[in-house]
Amino acid sequence: MLKFIIIDDEPLAHEIIEEFCSMLPHVQLEKNCYNAMEAMQFLNESTVDFMFLDINMPKLKGLDFLKTLTNPPKTIITTAYKEHALEGFELNVVDYILKPFSFDRLVKAVNKVSEKQTTKTIIKEVSSATDSSTRFFVKGDKKHHQIDLNHLLYIEAYGNYTKLFLKDEMIVSHEKISDFDELLPSNKFLRVHKSFIVAIDKIKFIEGNRILINEHKIPIGQTYKSRINKLYSS
């Protein structure tokens, strides 16, 4: 879990960042700071992994505040002023995003923090209690695709990538199959081969060393047979 703070004098900016980050289960808001002095006091007492920092704030500007920190958290600059970008990157900020920014743009910035922390870049969004489905985002083809687990048939390893086979399309993801093996709920998905994960409820039949899902034939690995047997053995 990556902990962060928001430093911005505009309440609306806090609302937008909070709303976007609420869809990212691997990040957690620790504090809303509305000026640099408030943030300085908090950071003297606590540590966080990263912070969203506005530049144009009263009393102490964002970049001047950043210069005062001897060991600052990883920093994502959020501002309406592009002319300070060079100075920001000279201070080793992780990213510099211009307001107003989209969810995708914020995700890209947070992923840069995640990559530095060697954290998975898969973004899982668990739905509300009124919706039994689960959704998550995966990066592929320079986009973040939202995946509904109810539509996911199986996943196939594809070198350093993976192919996600859905009901109506196939998406190539930048993630490894081992990442999905950790992410997906074990009561709904099963690793049946070093290169394949299948949706249990999409299995049409199992015959010999293969599984049929729709028209797709998926091999069963020798070391995974005991897992398959548990599906139909009492």
Q: What is the assigned CATH class of domain 2-116?
A: alpha beta
Neighbours of 144 (CB within 10 A): 17
pTM greater than 0.85 (yes/no): no
DSSP type of residue 221:
-
Which residues have a Cβ under 8 Å from the Cβ of 69 and sit 6 or more positions away?
Answer: 40, 43
Superfamily the domain 137-232 falls into: LytTr DNA-binding domain (2.40.50.1020)
Angstrom distance (rounded) from CA 158 to CA 177:
9
- Give the residue extent of every domain in the chain: 2-116, 137-232
DSSP character string of the chain: -EEEEEE-S-HHHHHHHHHHHTT-TTEEEEEEESSHHHHHHHHHH---SEEEE-S--SSS-HHHHHHH-SSPPEEEEEES-GGGHHHHHHTT-SEEEESS--HHHHHHHHHHHHHHTT----EEEEPPTT---EEEEEEETTEEEEEEGGGEEEEEEETTEEEEEESS-EEEESS-HHHHHHHS-TTTEEEEETTEEEEGGG--EEETTEEEETTEEEE--GGGHHHHHHHH--
Distance of CA 42 to the CA centre of its chain: 26
Give the tens place of pLDDT for each residue, 21-54.
Answer: 998 888 999 999 999 999 999 999 999 999 999 9
pLDDT at 147: 87
Helix (H, G, I), strand (E, B) or coil at 61: coil
Within the chain, which residues score under 70 in pLDDT?
A: 115-133, 140-142, 233-234
